[in-house]
């Protein structure tokens, strides 16, 4: 159906953002935490429990 197609496109967009943010800030705990904060702001519907 059409809604499934658009949902799939949305998921791919989310993953693109997710990987882009993580790829830019892969160094150290504090930069990773700030990357996850950025992800939360851009993609609030993605639930993340990020702990070390």
**Is residue 25 in some structural domain?**
yes
Could you give the CA distance from residue 17 to residue 23 in angstroms, rounded to a whole number?
A: 10
Assigned token pair, 31: 């930069």
Neighbour-count burial for 11-48, b at 16+ CB within 10 Å, e otherwise: eeeeeeebeebeeebeeeeeebeebbebbeeebeeeee
Return the residue matching tokens 């504090």: 30
Assess whether pLDDT exceeds 60 at residue 27: no
**Is residue 11 in some structural domain?**
yes
Assess whether pLDDT exceeds 50 at residue 47: yes
**Is residue 18 in some structural domain?**
yes
Assess whether pLDDT exceeds 60 at residue 36: yes
**Is residue 51 in some structural domain?**
no
What pLDDT shows up at residue 1?
Answer: 45
**Is residue 35 in some structural domain?**
yes
Assess whether pLDDT exceeds 70 at residue 38: yes
**Is residue 33 in some structural domain?**
yes
pTM of the entire structure? 0.31
**Is residue 17 in some structural domain?**
yes
Structurally, the chain folds into a number of domains equal to 1
Q: Pick the more confident residue, 42 or 50.
A: 42
Could you give the CA distance from residue 11 to residue 14 in angstroms, rounded to a whole number?
A: 5
């Amino acid at each position: 159906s059409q809604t499934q197609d658009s949902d799939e496109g949305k998921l791919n967009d989310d993953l693109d953002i997710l990987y882009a943010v993580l790829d830019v800030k892969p160094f150290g705990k504090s930069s990773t935490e700030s990357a996850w904060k950025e992800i939360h702001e851009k993609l609030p519907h993605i639930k993340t429990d990020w702990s070390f």
